[in-house]
Amino acid sequence: MRILLISDVHANLTALEAVIADAGQFDAAWCLGDLVGYGPDGNECVQRVSRLPNLLCVKGNHDLAICGDADLDIFNHEASEAILTSRRIITPETINYLRGLPEKLVTDLVTLIHGSPRNPVWEYILDATTAADNFANFSTRLAFVGHSHLPLMFTANPENGLVERTHRLPGATTTITTRAILNPGSVGQPRDNDPRASYGIFDPQMMTWEIHRVPYDIPSVQQRIIAAGLPEKHALRLSAGW
Ligand code: ZN
């Protein structure tokens, strides 16, 4: 069984379509939030994600903010400018869809959140200490998170509870033998200096986890960002991956 893991699409339809094409056959899709914000294609990304097979999807901080359900003071200047511009683009149907997303989904095996198990929408899990604190805040074996835009893996040693952090590179298959917090990286705005769209493939029967990276037509997205009146910074960063 192949499950497609995506996060932080950020209104980048070209990257999203490249990921879906590259992933090939998959049985289900799990989306970890931030479908909108930064990019030009918020409505189209929400429509495309909502049609994925057996979809489970949670909401992110940008999804909340574009709906007007979060205080913009929390965001930096360029992020809040992008949110204000995006609100002019986003349709009422998109707002309804985003508002209906849960902050957390829990199955027998996994917990899905955008940020962290203890603070589902807002907390970044970037280091082993923060990850270690969060292992007590979910009861499933695995948690999948997004938000940092980095394909990170945190594993908890069952003997001593020590948490190890790994930045996952594409091309290797990991068999997960411990509790773990897994991040598939960002589809629409990677931040690890690799501009290729990032996604994960999880097999719950084999307990395997892979990160994949796929190139896409970045200049076309940059042109649409500028044409939409979104901050130029969010166009420039795509070609460098930050
Ligand atoms: Zn994000």
What does the pLDDT read at residue 78?
78
Whole-number Å distance, alpha carbon 190 to ligand 1 midpoint, is 9
- Whether residue 42 is predicted with pLDDT greater than 90 in this model: the reply is yes
What does the pLDDT read at residue 160?
92
Nearest-angstrom CA–CA distance, 188 and 216: 10
- Per-residue confidence at 62, pLDDT binned at 50, 70, 90? very high
| Token pair recorded at residue 18 | 């490249």
- Per-residue confidence at 77, pLDDT binned at 50, 70, 90? confident
Q: Can you spell out the DSSP letters for 142-180? A: EEE--SS-S-EEEEE-TTT--EEEEEPPTT-EEE--SEE
Q: What is the pLDDT of residues 137-182, one digit of tens each?
A: 999 999 999 999 999 999 999 999 899 999 998 988 999 999 999 9
Q: pLDDT above 70 covers what percent of the chain?
A: 100
- Per-residue confidence at 76, pLDDT binned at 50, 70, 90? confident
What does the pLDDT read at residue 181?
98
| Token pair recorded at residue 94 | 């998109």
Please, what is the average pLDDT of the chain? 95
State the average pLDDT over residues 22-30. 98
CB 153, CB 131: distance < 8 Å = no
Whole-number Å distance, alpha carbon 116 to ligand 1 midpoint, is 13
Whole-number Å distance, alpha carbon 32 to ligand 1 midpoint, is 10
Whole-number Å distance, alpha carbon 185 to ligand 1 midpoint, is 10
What does the pLDDT read at residue 242?
93
Whole-number Å distance, alpha carbon 163 to ligand 1 midpoint, is 24
**Cα–Cα distances in angstroms (integers) from residue 21 to residues 18, 202, 211, 214, in the given order:** 5, 17, 15, 10
- Per-residue confidence at 240, pLDDT binned at 50, 70, 90? very high
What does the pLDDT read at residue 74?
81
Whole-number Å distance, alpha carbon 34 to ligand 1 midpoint, is 5
Whole-number Å distance, alpha carbon 140 to ligand 1 midpoint, is 24
Greater confidence, 73 or 228? 228
Least-confidence region, from 65-69, 81-85, 213-217:
81-85
Q: What is the pLDDT of residues 127-141, one digit of tens each?
A: 999 999 999 999 999
Whole-number Å distance, alpha carbon 10 to ligand 1 midpoint, is 7
Whole-number Å distance, alpha carbon 174 to ligand 1 midpoint, is 25
Whole-number Å distance, alpha carbon 160 to ligand 1 midpoint, is 32
- Whether residue 27 is predicted with pLDDT greater than 90 in this model: the reply is yes
Whole-number Å distance, alpha carbon 47 to ligand 1 midpoint, is 18
Model pTM above 0.85: yes
- Please name which of 242, 150, 126 lies closest in space to residue 193, comparing C-alpha atoms: 242
Whole-number Å distance, alpha carbon 82 to ligand 1 midpoint, is 12
Q: What is the pLDDT of residues 98-134, one digit of tens each?
A: 999 999 999 999 999 999 999 999 999 999 999 999 9
